[in-house]
Structures are given as structure tokens and as C-alpha cells.
């Protein structure tokens, strides 16, 4: 009989865990499985302490079981809150790192364009024309960032291109920016984003998120 109870408990708890699970967030599945496991444990204790088990001992065991479940639930809640806090801090750190990476990569084509523009003997070509020489086949909306690996999440989009002005948007495709409501250039929300504008006078930067 004990074997049947054990097998039934394992099967039910496992089934609930997978049925209630989500691909990115394991907590709903763990919560559901925890509730089912608690109910199962109480049912098992009640069953195993039925008559002719002494009533006083039965009450003590049930109280101990309830106390244990309460302590386990409190620990689980605290652990969940701590995990959420740690995740939030890591995402903030990641955001700072992503800002730094974007700020180090985005100026390269702009500064190269500016240097080439001012080295012209008579400045016959515009900023926009020279940028097209520095970055061949450039179009509005194109990602011009040259990544070393497919896992690199940085993107640098050409958001504006005229004779007198070049606008670049540097964006990470995952992580966490300052505002979760911010609408990014590629349609996502809450990602890190930097903006750079090149004119004949120089380059200006704007940390947008």
C-alpha cells in the first residue's frame, strides 16, 4: 500500500509540474506542484495515522506536518523573492555593460566619416555621401554592426541618412534598459538603446534607454 501511495504521489506531482509549466518562468509550475505535494503529504499522514493509531499522537504528527509545510512555504517564498531580486540586479548590470559596448562600437563609422569629410581639399562631397563610401550599400533601417558571433545581441541601425546628417541607433536585443515601457527602434520594448547623430560639426550622443 505504501508503494502505491508513493508512486501515485510522484506521478501526480510530476504531471502537475509539467502541465502548469512555462518555458521561461518555472515558478508557476513549482507553485502548483508544491500545493499538490502539500495536499498529498497531508492526505498521506491522515491515512497512515488512522485508527487504531492513538488520537494524541495523531494530532501531534498532524501539527508537526502542518508546521513543516508552513516553514517550507515560507522558505520557498523567500527564495523566490531573493531570486527575483538577483535577476533584477543582474539585468541592471547587463544594461550598464550593453551601454558601454554600444558607446564603444557606434562611433567608429561616424568618426571615420567625419575625418574623411574634413580631409577633403574643397569639401565637394557631403557627410551623407562620404558615409555611403565608409559603409557601402547602406540603406535606412539596415543593421551595419559587424559582429564576430551570431550570439552577439548588439545592433546598430541606420535611422536617418541625408546629405547633411547621419543618424544611428544602437540597440541590444535582450536585457533591460532604464524604462520597460520604452519603444525600441526594432519594435521591441524596454531594451537598451543609444542614439548618435553625425553632422559636419561633429557627433552628438543621446542615451535613450
Which of 54, 75, 101 finishes a domain?
101
Q: Which of 89, 91, 84 is nearest to 191 (CA)?
A: 91
In a shared domain, residues 163 and 188: yes
Give the residue-averaged pLDDT of 140-145: 91
Q: What is the pLDDT of residue 33?
A: 75
In a shared domain, residues 185 and 171: yes
In a shared domain, residues 55 and 133: no
Alpha-carbon distance of 22 to 115, in angstroms, equals 52
Q: What would the grid cell of residue 75 be?
A: 522558505
User: Higher confidence at residue 195 or residue 17?
Assistant: 195
Q: What is the pLDDT of residue 22?
A: 61
Alpha-carbon distance of 52 to 39, in angstroms, equals 23
The number of distinct structural domains making up the chain is 2
Which of 48, 79, 101 finishes a domain?
101
Which of 101, 132, 158 finishes a domain?
101
In a shared domain, residues 86 and 21: yes
User: Which residue range is the domain that position 131 belongs to?
Assistant: 107-207
Give the residue-averaged pLDDT of 110-124: 88
Give the residue-averaged pLDDT of 45-61: 81
Name the least confident of 8-17, 103-112, 134-143: 8-17
Q: What is the pLDDT of residue 170?
A: 93
- Can you give the pTM of this predicted structure? 0.65
Structure confidence at residue 204 as a pLDDT band (50, 70, 90) = very high
Give the residue-averaged pLDDT of 87-110: 86
Q: Which 3 state secondary structure label does DSSP give 85?
A: helix
In a shared domain, residues 88 and 111: no
Alpha-carbon distance of 35 to 151, in angstroms, equals 39
Name the least confident of 27-31, 112-116, 152-156: 27-31
In a shared domain, residues 172 and 118: yes
Structure confidence at residue 161 as a pLDDT band (50, 70, 90) = very high
C-alpha distances out from residue 114 to 26, 123, 126, 198, Å:
50, 11, 10, 8
Amino acid at each position: 500500500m505504501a508503494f502505491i501511495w508513493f508512486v501515485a504521489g510522484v506521478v501526480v506531482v510530476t504531471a502537475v509540474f509539467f502541465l502548469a509549466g512555462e518555458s521561461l518562468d518555472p515558478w508557476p509550475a513549482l507553485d502548483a506542484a508544491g500545493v499538490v505535494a502539500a495536499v498529498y503529504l497531508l492526505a498521506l499522514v491522515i491515512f497512515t495515522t488512522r485508527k487504531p493509531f492513538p488520537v494524541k499522537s495523531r494530532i501531534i504528527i498532524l501539527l508537526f506536518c502542518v508546521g513543516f509545510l508552513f516553514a517550507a512555504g515560507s522558505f520557498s517564498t523567500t527564495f523566490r523573492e531573493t531570486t527575483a531580486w538577483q535577476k533584477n540586479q543582474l539585468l541592471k548590470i547587463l544594461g550598464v555593460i550593453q551601454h558601454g559596448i554600444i558607446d564603444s562600437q557606434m562611433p567608429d563609422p561616424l568618426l571615420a566619416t567625419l575625418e574623411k569629410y574634413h580631409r577633403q581639399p574643397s569639401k565637394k562631397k557631403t557627410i551623407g555621401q562620404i558615409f555611403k563610401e565608409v559603409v557601402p550599400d547602406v540603406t535606412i533601417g539596415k543593421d551595419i554592426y559587424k559582429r564576430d558571433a551570431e550570439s552577439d545581441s548588439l545592433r546598430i541601425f541606420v535611422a536617418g541618412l541625408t546629405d547633411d546628417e547621419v543618424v544611428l541607433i544602437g540597440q541590444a536585443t535582450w536585457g533591460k534598459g532604464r524604462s520597460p515601457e520604452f519603444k525600441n527602434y526594432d519594435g521591441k520594448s524596454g531594451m537598451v538603446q543609444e542614439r548618435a547623430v553625425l553632422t559636419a560639426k561633429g557627433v552628438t550622443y543621446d542615451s535613450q534607454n
